[in-house]
Amino acid sequence: MPDRIFLALNAFITMTDDAVLVVDPQTLTLRCASPRAVDLIGPILQQQDVPASHIFGQVDDFAVFIADALTVTEPIISSVSVLPDARVLIVKARRLAVQDGVPLVLLLLEAESELSSRFRLLTEKIEELRGEVGRRVAAEQELSETIFSLRQSVAIIRQIAELDISSGDYLEMAAGIVCRAFETRGTAILTASVGKLQVMATTKVFAETIDDQPFLDLTLTEFTRLSREQTEEWKDRLFSSLQRVGAEPVDFENALVFRLWVAGECRGALICLLEADAQTRTSLRLEGDIISESLGGLIARAEIEARLMHAQKFQAIGELTGGIAHDFNNILAVVLGNAELLLDEMDNLDIEVAGEIRDAAMRGATLNSRLLSFARKQPLAPKPTDANKLLREFDPLIRRTIKENIDYELISAGGLWKTQVDQNQLENAVLNLAVNARDAMPDGGRLTIETANTRLDPDYADRHSEVEPGQYVMIAVSDTGHGMESEVLQEAFTPFFTTKEVGKGSGLGLSMVFGFVKQSLGHVKIYSEPDLGTTVRMYFPRDPVELKATDKDLGERVKDQTLRRNGRILVVEDDRGVLSYLKKSLEKLGYDVEVTTTGDSASEYLKEQPYDVLLTDVVLPGRINGAQLAKIANQIAPKMPVLFMSGYTENSIVHHGRLDPGVDFISKPFTREQLAKRLRDLMGG
């Protein structure tokens, strides 16, 4: 703008009593200000070319207002806020034409009137109230949906709680309840079995496409790890695994997935295929979380009841067999006694018949003795026994019992403690186990009997309610036979249960061993894998007379020493109970622990990050067993030590040909102190 025009305009504005400003619309600067404007806004206006952003708030809105004023011939009115206290002023703007120059904008400012101020404040208050009402309506609607969800969840939980868990299809009934409640296109319940996810119950779409409770190609460990990550990969992985076991493809677009927690561990999943309009219910996730937790409780209750029923069955069978055996003994005594009298008085033909009667009575007495052993009512005559000496003397009978195509070895531990045990019953128990091993190896194999001193600690006792912690003498009988499936293993100690042909076995051998060991205040454990063999371990308490110096404080010493060590351990174990125990024990010992259930997933862990020790079971599900995993680990980290563990004894494992001689090995069950010592040795502590 020419200086003469600016001077004339400035002189005019100086003489006015109004609050007037002249604004350059191109630069949004204030070119002139009247004295009244300076009084109203502040001395900042005495400066030349003050940016509007230094005076007015919401400068973008101010710029739009100035631009609008340039486009009309009549004045326009608005309001502006003045910095720094955000006072509101009424502003009237008018286009000011300048000869031979860019038009300016003339602003007339007025303080907001009291009426206008009140009206504005009232308008703002109304807007606030409107927003609050909206929020409260939304909250009330959400609360109403939550109450509806809770009521529906309670109804579903009540139905699930009333299910008969003793029936084999209780999960199918639970899936049906959830399906009807959510009105789903299909529902599936997946739980863990041998470390993998298995489809246990289905409805509608899933029932039409999936049959025979298939296993997924997804381990529980992998599923749990993926579901913790903040991505959708775990769902995609689960859905793709389900697609592969289904006969027809399934649309998972509106699927909801809930993890099933059993006794604090993720053990599976509940999947609901929803209709498209059902996704609008925001409370569905809450309902699903509550119902999945109830399902987890149902599964936990079923597992506890199954264990309780198994224990009660054993107790009932024991009481029944004990009562029958005592009466049967009296009958056998009469038969046997009279048969011997007949032998003294009859001719040769009759003597042969009487001899057969006597032999039959003797076999019945032996059978009855086994029944009494299982019932823990067999009269015992325990005395301090050197198990090594007894087994060496018993060695010829074992060799005569087994076949020529079976290699036999007795491995005696040095410095073996004595134990209070009935020697005759111990011989019978070992003989029964040797006979079972022989029958499990019709084509030959290897039988190993070995002894060792061991200690069962409080952690192990907590997981086996019948065990008292302390020092024990262990006698193990191992074979390389056909082994047992998990279903057979659960019934191994049940009287008269046998997988042998009719007439080939009474089904009382292991029952007698079980009863004898329990009556001797001991503990018995079976480890078996199909096609890999079986190991039966018997634990007898150390002779209390010999037990003078104990290792009572050994655990604390080892614990204190180990806690000072730091290290990262990868644990590979397919038994969930053992895996949980190992993780907790190692963490108490001060180690960082990563766990998994298969060799396949363990090999991926080894590629992702370094570990100080690999602790792995020998027998693992999947493509990669323990020995193969160790080779992979050696390629990835040649200096990382590997410690094998197994329910089989070390000698039987090596003789099975599954491990090379000289490998680092620890036999299950082991105490925390024993494990800590082995780890310290491996890590150079």
* Site of tokens 């101010």: 62
Structure token pair of residue 552: 């009572």
Report percent pLDDT > 90 for the chain. 13
* 321-330, 452-461, 531-540: which is most confident: 531-540
- 228, amino acid identity: R
- 186, amino acid identity: G
Report percent pLDDT > 70 for the chain. 75
Backbone angles phi, psi at 456, to 5 degrees: -95, 115
What's the pLDDT band for 419 if we cut at 50, 70, 90? very high
CB 447 within 8 A of CB 430: no
CATH superfamily of 3-112: PAS domain (3.30.450.20)
Query: In the predicted model, what is the mean pLDDT of residues 300-315?
Result: 67
Q: What is the pLDDT of residues 521-569, one digit of tens each?
A: 899 888 888 888 899 999 999 988 776 544 444 444 444 444 445 689 9
Task: Choose the weakest-confidence range: 38-52, 460-474, 522-536.
Answer: 460-474
What's the pLDDT band for 342 if we cut at 50, 70, 90? low
* 59-63, 317-321, 494-498, 673-677: which is most confident: 59-63
Query: In the predicted model, what is the mean pLDDT of residues 594-620?
Result: 89
What's the pLDDT band for 507 if we cut at 50, 70, 90? very low
- pTM reported for the whole predicted model: 0.46
How high does pLDDT run on average in the chain?
78
Q: What is the pLDDT of residues 192-224, one digit of tens each?
A: 876 778 899 999 999 988 888 888 888 887 888
Count the neighbouring beta carbons within 10 Å of the beta carbon of residue 360. Answer: 14
Q: What is the pLDDT of residues 481-493, one digit of tens each?
A: 888 877 677 767 6
Conformational region of residue 575, where left means phi above 0, alpha means psi within -120 to 50, and beta covers everything else? beta
| Cβ burial, residue 342 (10 Å; 0-12/13-18/19+) | middle
Structure token pair of residue 617: 């079971």
Of 394, 627, 616, the closest CA to residue 532 belongs to 627
Q: What is the pLDDT of residues 385-397, one digit of tens each?
A: 999 999 998 888 8
Same CATH fold assignment for domains 3-112 and 383-541 = no
- The pLDDT score that the predictor gives to residue 614 is 94
Cα 220 to Cα 192: distance, rounded to the nearest angstrom: 6
Structure token pair of residue 464: 């086996």
Structure token pair of residue 679: 């780890």
CB 256 within 8 A of CB 281: no
Q: Pairing between strand 19-24 and 29-33?
A: antiparallel
Cα 154 to Cα 148: distance, rounded to the nearest angstrom: 10
What's the pLDDT band for 450 if we cut at 50, 70, 90? very high
- The pLDDT score that the predictor gives to residue 321 is 55
Query: In the predicted model, what is the mean pLDDT of residues 404-418?
Result: 90
Q: Architecture of domain 554-682 in CATH?
A: 3-Layer(aba) Sandwich (3.40)
Q: CATH 3.30.450.40: does it fit domain 163-281?
A: yes
User: What are the sequence ranges of the domains in the chain?
Assistant: 3-112, 163-281, 383-541, 554-682
Query: In the predicted model, what is the mean pLDDT of residues 455-483?
Result: 85
> The CATH number of 383-541 is which of 3.30.1700.10, 3.30.565.10, 2.60.40.1120, 3.40.50.300?
3.30.565.10
